[in-house]
Amino acid sequence: LGRIIDGDKIMYICAKYLAEKKRLKKDTIVTTVMSNLGFHKAVEEIGLKDVVTQVGDRYVVEEMRKNDYNFGGEQSGHMIFLDYNTTGDGMLSGIQLLNVMKQTGKKLSELADEV
Tell whether 79 is covered by a domain. yes
Ranges 14-18, 69-73, 85-89: which has the least confidence: 85-89
Residues in Cβ contact with 14 at an 8 Å cutoff, skipping those fewer than 6 apart: 71, 79, 93, 96, 97, 100
Could you report the per-residue pLDDT of 46-70, keeping only the tens digit for each?
999 999 999 999 999 999 999 999 9
Checking if the pLDDT of 5 tops 90, the result is yes
Q: Could you tell me the CATH number of the domain that includes residue 96?
A: 3.40.120.10
User: Residue 44's pLDDT band (boundaries 50, 70, 90)?
Assistant: very high
Structural domain range at position 83: 7-113
Show Cβ contacts of residue 53 under 8 Å, excluding neighbours closer than 6 positions. Answer: 30, 31, 32, 33, 59, 60, 62, 63
Counting the structural domains of the chain, the total is 1
For 77, counting Cβ atoms within 10 Å of its Cβ (0-12 exposed, 13-18 middle, 19+ buried), the class is: middle
Q: What's the pTM?
A: 0.93
Instruction: Specify if 68 maps to a domain.
Output: yes
For residue 15, is it within any domain?
yes
Which of 111 and 89 is assigned the larger pLDDT? Answer: 111
Q: Is residue 96 part of a domain?
A: yes
